[in-house]
Amino acid sequence: MKYVATQSGRFLTGTELADAVQWYGVALERMQRVDLVDIPVIEADGRGARATLTVGWWAETATITAPDGEDELTEVDTVIALYEKAGAVRPIHAYPFSAEEIEAMSWAVLPSDFDPD
């Protein structure tokens, strides 16, 4: 088990889940982006819950190994989804508009009440 530590607190979750959150956060940070992730956690009283965490750019996140004693929390679909999202993080490429795109965006200028003519 590991804690995911954020500016909001520490959240106890499974090792694989915490590692996937960290991996996705690093991928986002490299591209100066942020996202929200929803993961299962164990509350202080032992009940299961879910936490939504901000990860990525300016979202300080760390993982801390928890003392042994808890059964490992797993959620395979969430782990896979986080690693897939991390792998899909790419730079945003903007290309100049084509002449056809510019023409499609053009619209006639209407006379204004503020025109002196």
Name the more confident of 81 and 101: 81
**What is residue 54's three-state secondary structure?**
strand
Q: Is the pLDDT of residue 108 over 80?
A: no
Side-chain-side CA neighbours of residue 50 (13 Å)? 7
Rounded-to-integer distance, Cα 12 and Cα 102, Å: 52
pLDDT of residue 39: 97
Q: Is the pLDDT of residue 109 over 90?
A: no
Helices 76-88/15-30 angle, 10° precision:
20
Rounded-to-integer distance, Cα 20 and Cα 83, Å: 6
pLDDT of residue 54: 96
pLDDT of residue 107: 67
How far is CA 94 from its chain centroid? 22
Q: Is the pLDDT of residue 72 over 70?
A: yes
**Domain regions of the chain by residue span:** 2-104
Q: Is the pLDDT of residue 32 over 70?
A: yes
Name the more confident of 50 and 92: 50
- What tokens does 106 get? 């053009």
